[in-house]
A and B are shown apart, each in its own frame.
Chain A
Amino acid sequence: MRRSTLARRAVAWLLLAGAACSGAALAQSTVAGRVPTPVIEKARGESCVAEPAFMRRNHMDLLKHQRDETVHRGVRDPRSSLKGCIECHASSATGSVAAAPTDFCASCHSYAAVKVDCFECHASKPKAAAVLPANHPAHARLAALWRSLPAVGAVAR
Chain B
Amino acid sequence: MKPSADSGAKQGLSGRRAFLGLAAVGAGGLLLAPGVHLMEVAQAAAPGTAAAGANPKVRWGLLIDTRKCASGCTDCVNACNTENGLSGGTTPTDAQWIRKIEIKALKTGHSASLPVMCQHCAEPPCVDVCPTGASFKRTDGIVLVDRHSCIGCRYCVMACPYQARSFVHEPLTGQKPEVPRGKGCVEGCTLCVHRIDKGGTPACVEACDRAGHHAMLFGDLNDPDSAISQRVREVATMQLRADLRLDPGVRYQGLT
Contacts and interface: CB of A to CB of B under 8 A. Distances in A.
Interface residues of A, number: 28
B223 interface: no
Interface string B15-31: 00000000000000000
Given A72-B136, A72-B138, A121 B43 contact: no
B197 A76 contact: yes
A77 B49 contact: yes
A71 B148 contact: yes
Most buried by B among A51, A62, A123: A123
B181 A75 contact: no
Interface string A101-140: 0000000000000000000111101110000000000000
B49 to A, nearest CB: 7
A34 interface: no
A79 B48 CA distance: 13
Contacts of B157: none
Classify chain B's interface size. Answer: 35 or more
A121 B177 contact: no
A121 B182 contact: yes
A66 to B, nearest CB: 7
B36 A74 contact: no
B247 interface: no
B244 interface: no
B97 to A, nearest CB: 16
B40 to A, nearest CB: 6
B175 A80 contact: no
B146 interface: yes
Nearest to A118: B180
A29 B119 CA distance: 53
Interface string B111-147: 0000000000000000000000000101110001011
B1 interface: no
B193 A77 contact: no
Given A76-B198, A121-B147, A122-B177, 7 more contacts: A69-B40, A71-B148, A72-B138, A73-B53, A80-B40, A120-B183, A123-B174
18 contacts: A50-B36, A54-B36, A66-B40, A69-B40, A71-B144, A71-B146, A72-B146, A74-B138, A75-B50, A75-B53, A76-B53, A77-B40, A79-B39, A80-B43, A83-B178, A121-B180, A123-B175, A125-B177
